[in-house]
Amino acid sequence: MKNIKTFPEQKQSLPGNEHQMRPEPQIIRENYTGSGKLLGKVAFITGGDSGIGRSVAVHFAREGANVAIVYLKEDKDAQKTKELVEKEGQQCLLISGDLKDEKFCKSAVKKCHSLFKKINIVVNNAAVQFPQKELEKITASQLHKTFETNIYPYFYITKAALPFLQENDTIINTSSVTAYRGSDHLIDYASTKGAIVSFTKSLSRILAERKIRVNGVAPGPIWTPLIVASFDTLADFGKNNPMGRAGQPSEVAPAYVFLACEDSSYITGQFIHINGGELVSG
């Protein structure tokens, strides 16, 4: 735990900004070739301004989808994501606001639908984390913030989007390796990530009848703004997994493409573990 900053001592405000990160995260591999796997689809992605969400937006665009991204207030990062999506020849709707507010969630989904006239892929992905070395340091206020940001919006957004989803559409939820093996410094965060696993599995059972698939991705250490707020450098981060390094967003987003497209047509209620070789079950 020695290189971990704790909240609120950490200097950087949360969430962090990707444009200030050094080295900059890799968003997409130069040799990633799109093959129209999401041609004509519309994706709604929370936390799409930066990190994994941005990378997912760009991969989806390269595969032929238009995207709407929701973010808190990182306008500069969001603008860059929009440019990257447009470079792929696709449209990107930016929606800034607080996902803790159900009314905002409803209006965000509505905005996306009004512009694109459909929604095919929902990616629930926004989150915060506030490292604490002891359980006693987790205040009620921190606990509320972590749960209200990390899991409540998965319900709000999914409820709002469901009326628009049709056969073969998909929902993809971002959990974390911490849901499976726990975390000594992110107890509240890991608990929300466990809730996301149960939410995903429950929802997949209800929606199977409608032929809507619900899956998730459980990343390990990935170099994103969320992490800069908790760790000092890339060198410190991800050292303890079998591959001995952190992953890049570009190594995570292709799994979202797989779960969003027809290639995963017989998979629902499952998680893909992208964590540098840490063995977890479920």
Name the E strands within the chain. Answer: 42-46, 66-71, 92-96, 121-124, 170-174, 213-219, 271-274
Q: Which does 122 bind (CB under 5 to 8 A by kind): Mg ion, ligand NAD, none?
A: none
Smallest separation (angstroms) from ligand NAD to the CB of 125 = 5
Can 189 be counted among the known catalytic residues? yes
Contact 32, 55 (CB under 8 A): no
Contact 70, 99 (CB under 8 A): yes
Smallest separation (angstroms) from Mg ion to the CB of 17 = 6
The 86-105 contact track toward ligand NAD, x by CB under 6 A, reads ------------xxx-----
Q: Which residue has the closest beta carbon to ligand NAD?
A: 51
Q: Which does 149 bind (CB under 5 to 8 A by kind): Mg ion, ligand NAD, none?
A: ligand NAD
Q: Which does 98 bind (CB under 5 to 8 A by kind): ligand NAD, Mg ion, none?
A: ligand NAD
Contact positions with ligand NAD (CB under 6 A) in 171-190: 174, 176
Residue 224 binds ligand NAD (CB under 6 A): yes
Q: Which does 126 bind (CB under 5 to 8 A by kind): ligand NAD, Mg ion, none?
A: ligand NAD
d(CA 244, CA 249): 16
What residues are paired with 217 via a beta bridge? 174, 272
Terminal Cα-to-Cα distance of the chain (whole angstroms): 26
Smallest separation (angstroms) from Mg ion to the CB of 111 = 19
Residue 219 binds ligand NAD (CB under 6 A): yes
Contact positions with ligand NAD (CB under 6 A) in 240-269: none
How many residues are given for the chain?
A: 282
d(CA 5, CA 130): 9
DSSP string, 20-61: G-SSPPP-S-TT----STTTT-EEEEETTTSHHHHHHHHHHH
Q: Which of 152, 180, 189, 256 is catalytic?
A: 189
Which residues are near ligand NAD by CB under 6 A? 15, 47, 49-53, 70-72, 74, 98-100, 125-128, 149, 174, 176, 219, 221-222, 224-227
